[in-house]
Amino acid sequence: MKKKIKIQYDGTAVFAAMFYLFALSAALMYVWCRSQAVICTIIMTALCCGIYFLFYKVRTRKLISFLTFTGIFIVVYLLFAFASNPYRSPAYWEFLFTTSNFFDPFYAAVTIAVFSLIVTFPVCYFTAYLPRPGFLLLPAYIPLILGARTLGGLPEGILLLLVIGFVAAAMGTSRAKSTDTVYFEEKTPDKGKIIALSTAALAVSLVFFVLPRVNNTPYLDWLNTVLRGRTSIYGRQSLTNFSESSIPNRGNNNPTTDSLFVVSAMYPQNVIRWSFDIYEGNDGWSYDENYSMGYADWESSSRRLSFKRLVDSLKQGVSEGKLEKYREEITALDAGESYPVQMTVRVTDGSSTAVVLHPNRTTGVSITNLDENTYRNPKDEIFTKENMGKNASYLVSYLAEPVNESFVNMLERVDFSELLNDAYSEGVIDYITFNAFDSEYDSAMEYYSDNGFKELPVSERSLYDPKESTARIQALADEITAGLTTDYEKALAIEKWFGGAGFVYDMDFVPREATAEYFLFESRRGICTDFATASTLLLRAAGIPARYTEGFVLSEDSMDLMGRYVVTPEQAHAFSTAYIEGAGWIEIDGTRFAETADSGEALRWTVFIIIAAAGILTVLGIIFRKPISEAVFAVGYQFKNKENKIRAVYLRTRKLVCKIPDIDPKSATAEEVRGIIARSLRLEKEADEITSAANELMYGGKTPEISGKQLYKDYKAVYRMKRSMKK
């Protein structure tokens, strides 16, 4: 009776599997715990390796393996059920599937525990229990899918790390060993595994030095910290309180992709953070204390700052027989449009700040769980007296009001202050409305006079460092706005001028200096801060009150699957705000019209594709190395002469069949080769023809009569028989 053969698997390259677990941990923690990704990656890697070793040690005992898995599964399931209970808190699902930087230590701990089991058991099972390299890809789909949902994709470096980790684990899987009763381990992997693992390790080492760094990830922050000897590991950008000055462009800008805050809004737009008043040349912008003091009761007057409502009131007054001297002008006015809108803002980076992020023409702010007043200053900065607390959320109401060009054009012929006074005195508008528009107008004129030096001649203006001349900027402003009559037309002309004058938006450009004149007249290449500085100075030179404003842009590219804008430092933006009579403060953004530099994106993708293709070809070459080797041999065989064909067939056959009894091919004689083929593969004719031809040529000194084509057929028969018998 034939004994039952038990198949065991061993020879697993444990460290290769551990490296794959590290790659999986790094990818998952990049998605979920980005602000604390480094430390969480270390923790998850350690836990995964511990679970792997536990399953690896009990792999020969199926019952113990099953009980171990069941016990760990119950523990992590209870943790997961507790964290995801919607009656306790729905935030865990948001942690998993929405914003990329919402971090909570408890949620992170639960996630690490749950997914350590989810990714580790398949890796252990398909490397040590039942080697199936293809199934090792399954755990990698988790970070790939989640990354696409929350981030729009994983960085190239992490993708390559996953690929290389998979290759290492696939090449390090165990091999089948037949034994009757004894379980044994093979301690030494074969040469193929050693070469594959060494290649993978070398590739990983080269990733951080060869691949261009397109994303400033937490891992690269940490690597830079170690290599450059910095004392702070994390140093991530966050929302802070007001700054005393702006940061001019010094080049090589590489903002992080950590989530700062999340906005629910109807459409893309800019949100304001703060503004600066005084230009300091190479040092950027600073603020003027006279315009930084805010007042609390600002909402009632801000609600009245609707030009749509003002025009409607003026038209109503004319229809009632009032404002007779403006009758013709007001009657011809378009009614205009205005839409009351709301947006919600929720801080996600853990910071506690007094700064309220808001769009232009904000009319009110309601802060969750905070009864304190908000304050607004003449620069349209909104803030609270005390910090709002970590991860504050608030509701912002504002007016979406397109510029009514007919009203703006009318005010080129009609004095705005006089119109307001007449409308108030004749009862067309109430005092609150009159005071709101009049105060905004007076504040804008005063602001311009103080910071733009409107009343001084060009030679005495001091828009920036007194050592530098402003004559070139003044001449340029005059040239751009020549022939235009309204401030609105001039502002738009300055904004659009950047698009037709060869300016390029380039995050990687390193300017020789950070002044406006260098940007305007020499480089014509820079980032939003350069465009905002230049447009602000040009607006002032054109006689238009303007200020330098910093904030963030809500773009469709930053939307998550829930339709919210996930704002990161990459969306930080600078632009100008200009005061136009009849339109109030409007945004002027020259960056919108500039060309975007090809900042190496094509090169980065080319490098990535080349490396990925090389990796794929390497994997395919390893997997299909035998068919490829046979194909190469078959092609090369056709170009050999008869003697070389005989030698090639014999040597290749000898190497092939000597693996059956596991002897050294170099020490085997032709007679031994013939015996192995005849006895083990039962191919006596082929054995005789191959070995006889070899003996005649190499030992008899004669050229055999057998053809090279027949010898190749004999070799193929040996190859197919050995493969079919799995010897």
Amino acid at 316: Q
Residue 654 sits in the same domain as residue 592: no
- The residue segments making up the domain with residue 502 are 261-599
Residue 336 sits in the same domain as residue 203: no
pLDDT of residue 215: 41
**Which of 599, 632, 663 represents a domain boundary (last residue)?**
599
Task: Say if residues 350 and 390 touch (Cβ distance below 8 Å).
Answer: yes
Those residues of the chain that have pLDDT short of 50 are 1-5, 87-89, 99-100, 178-189, 207-237, 452-469, 599-600
Residue 121 sits in the same domain as residue 167: yes
Residue 450 sits in the same domain as residue 544: yes
DSSP state of 687: H
Structural domain contains residue 318: yes
Residue 576 sits in the same domain as residue 694: no
Structural domain contains residue 255: no
Residue 479 sits in the same domain as residue 539: yes
Contacts of 607 (CB under 8 A, 6+ apart): 210, 211, 212
Residue 275 sits in the same domain as residue 205: no
Sheet strands (E) in 590-629: 595-596
pLDDT of residue 199: 59
**Which of 155, 190, 212 represents a domain boundary (last residue)?**
212
Residue 272 sits in the same domain as residue 314: yes
Closest Cα to residue 287, out of 270, 273, 301?
273
Structural domain contains residue 176: yes
pLDDT of residue 189: 46
Structural domain contains residue 489: yes
Residue 182 sits in the same domain as residue 276: no
Residue 320 sits in the same domain as residue 394: yes
Sort 336 into a burial class: Cβ within 10 Å, 0-12 / 13-18 / 19+: buried
Structural domain contains residue 81: yes
Residue 321, CA atoms < 13 Å, CB-side half-sphere = 0
Closest Cα to residue 446, out of 545, 320, 551, 560?
545
Greatest C-alpha distance within the chain: 128
What's the CA gap between 627 and 645, in Å, rounded? 20
Contacts of 424 (CB under 8 A, 6+ apart): 430, 431, 433, 434
pLDDT of residue 372: 76
Residue 593 sits in the same domain as residue 632: no
**Which of 566, 599, 632 represents a domain boundary (last residue)?**
599
Task: Say if residues 8 and 179 touch (Cβ distance below 8 Å).
Answer: yes
pLDDT of residue 585: 95
Amino acid at 705: E
Structural domain contains residue 218: no
Structural domain contains residue 240: no
pLDDT of residue 598: 61
Q: How many domains does the chain have?
A: 3
To the nearest 10 degrees (0 to 180), the angle between helices 156-171 and 191-210 is 170
What's the CA gap between 351 and 380, in Å, rounded? 22
pTM of the model: 0.58
pLDDT of residue 497: 95
**Distance from the Cα of residue 103 to its chain's centroid:** 17
Structural domain contains residue 335: yes
Residue 56 sits in the same domain as residue 202: yes
What's the CA gap between 397 and 341, in Å, rounded? 6
